[in-house]
Structure 1
Amino acid sequence: MNLFPINAGNLKLDGGAMFGVVPKSLWQRTNPADANNMIDLTMRSLLIEDGNRLILIDTGMGNKQSEKFFSYYHPWGDDTLEGALKANGFHPDDITDVFMTHLHFDHCGGSVQWNKDKTGYEPAFKNAHFWSNKDHWQWATQPNRREKASFLKENIIPIEESGQLKFTSLPKEDLLNNSELGFDIFFANGHTDKQMIPLINYKGKTIAFMADLLPTVGHLPIPFVMGYDTRPLLTLNEKEKFLDIAADNNYYLFLEHDAHNEIITVQKTKKGVRLKNTYTTKEIFN
């Protein structure tokens, strides 16, 4: 097995929204804001090369939205999904599976692109299966008013219409072992219903793709929960449970949205689970 970090692009979001009720005087220590209160974030996907399978976890925002849409999220840097794939020696047509942790636009937007004459949409990975789960798919296609702006039909419906959509099995408990893609999945419901956190066994290490359960290092304290979460009290419990397991088992936490920290480990302290070590992906994947 080989692992490759794929930077699908960068964005800025309001620091207050990213940390909910936590005062700025606390969260700005790890996530400094600019003059407009925006903090730097990234969309770091993960590519798994395992035998004949090439599995891409999450796909960023994509590039098909309007200029007005992108202006809300302040893209920065030159990173793109296709560019990152090419830099690692791959083409979109090589991808066999796209695993979407959830269907918010910054996690699945790159899964769908304009067709050649821009009259409609098509999957960006024509040879891939696209993986979600039935409960989350229903949640996203019949969205509540809180999340409606994050579940964009043009990111979701074309996948189903293509016939390339597949669903993972749902768990009896939080953790589903031996998924169809060869890795375990931790299901979390606080941020959005049935968000999936992949746990990849790599050279004796467990790599946990944290998605929006732990967006950045700054979110390690249990009460530091995003304002975007639909069930913040549930997030508190899920995050505490997962971080306890991660500390006990020395998981390597792959951070999708942290612009400055790629992989971390955590440890238990008197104040709760806190940062132990930080690593670059090169240090862990090479």
Structure 2
Amino acid sequence: MNLYPIEAGNFKLDGGAMFGVVPKSLWQRTNPADGNNMIDISARCLLIEDGGRLILIDTGMGNKQSEKFYGYYHLWGNHSIDKSLASFGFHRDDITDVFMTHLHFDHCGGSIQYNKDRTVLEPAFKNAHFWSNKDHWVWATSPNRREKASFLKENILPMEESGQLKFTSLPNNSILKNSELGFDIFFANGHTDKQMIPMINYNGKTICFMADLLPTVGHLPIPFVMGYDTRPLLTLDEKEQFLNLAANNNYYLFLEHDAHNPIITVKHTEKGVRLNETYTCKDIF
């Protein structure tokens, strides 16, 4: 097995929204804001090469939305999925599976694109299966008013219409062992219903793709929960459960949204689970 970080593009989000009720005087120590109160965010995806499969976890925002839409998110840097894949010798047509942790636009928008004439929406990975789970799919395609702006039908419905959509099994408890993709999945319901956190066995290490369960290093304290979470009290319990597992078992946490800290480990302290070590992707992969 080989793992490759795939950079889908950087953007910015409001720091207050990213940290909910936590005062700026606390969160700006780890996530400094610019003059508009915006903090740096990445869309760092992960490519798994395993036998004959190339599995891409999440796809970022994509490039099919309007200039006005992207203006809200202050795109920065020059990353793209195509350039990142090419840097490792791959093309999007090589991808066999696209695994989406959840269907918010910044995690799945790159899965669907316009054709050359911008008249028809089509899969951006024509040879891949798109993986979600049935409960989350129902949640996303009949969205509540809180999340409606994050579940964009143009990102979601074409997956089903293409015939390329597949669903993972659902667990009896919080962890699905040895899923159809070959890795374990931790299911978390605080941010959105049935978000999936891949747990990949790689060279004797467990690499956990943290998605929105742990967006950045600054979110390590249990009460530091995003304002975007639909069930913040549940997020508290899920974070505590997962971070204790991570500290006990020396998991390597791959941070999708932390623009400056790609991979971390954590440890138990008197204040709870906190940062242990920070790594680059080259350090681990």
Q: What TM-score bracket applies, with the shorter chain setting the length?
A: over 0.9
The Cα shift of 1:125 comes to: 0.3
* Deviation of 1:87 (Å): 1.2
CA distance in 1, matches of 2:130, 2:242: 26
3-state SS of paired residue (2:158): helix
Deviation at 1:55?
0.2
| Whole-angstrom CA distance in 2 between matches of 1:132 and 1:9 | 22
| CA distance in structure 1 between the aligned counterparts of 2:203 and 2:274, rounded to whole angstroms | 25
- Which structure 2 residues correspond to residues 47-196 of structure 1 after superposition, within 5 A? 47-196=47-196
Question: 1:158 and 1:3 mapped to 2: Cα distance?
Answer: 28
Give TM-score scaled by structure 1 length: 0.99
Q: Give CA-to-partner distance per residue, 1:237-268, whole Å, 9 cap, x none.
A: 00000000000000000000000000000000
1:197 corresponding residue in structure 2: 197
Give the letter for the 1:208 counterpart: C
Instruction: Find the residue that maps to 2:43 and give its secondary structure.
Output: strand
> Which residue number corresponds to residue 222 of structure 1?
222
Shift of 1:113: 0.4
Q: How far does the alpha carbon of each residue in 1:78-117 deviate from its partner, in whole angstroms, 9 at most, with x for none?
A: 0011111111110010000000000000000000000121
**In structure 2, C-alpha distance between the alignment counterparts of 1:103 and 1:84, rounded to whole Å:** 22
Say if 2:266 is the partner of 1:263.
no
- Structure 1 stretches of 5 or more lacking a match? none
Aligned CA RMSD, in angstroms, stands at 0.4
Structure 2: 5+ residue stretches without partners: none
What CA distance in whole angstroms lies between the structure 2 residues aligned with 1:73 and 1:280? 25
- TM normalised by structure 2 equals 1.00
State the distance in 2 between where 1:111 and 1:226 align. 25
Q: How many residues align?
A: 285
Q: Residue type of the partner of 2:192? A: T
Q: How far did residue 24 of structure 1 move?
A: 0.1
How far apart, CA to CA, are the structure 2 residues paired with 1:138 and 1:115?
27
Sequence identity (%) = 81
Structure 2 match to 1:35: 35
Quote the Cα distance in structure 1 between the aligned partners of 2:83 and 2:166: 26
Q: Residue 185 of structure 1: SS of its match in structure 2? A: strand
Give the distance between the partners of 1:8 and 1:198, measured in 2 at CA.
18
Structure 2: how far apart are the matches of 1:118 and 1:75?
22
How far, CA to CA, are the matches of 1:22 and 1:103 in structure 2? 26
For the residue of structure 2 that corresponds to 1:230, the secondary structure is coil
SS at match of 1:109: helix
Q: Which 4+ runs in 1 deviate beyond 6 A?
A: none
Residue in 1 that maps onto 2:281: 281
SS in 1 for 2:86: helix
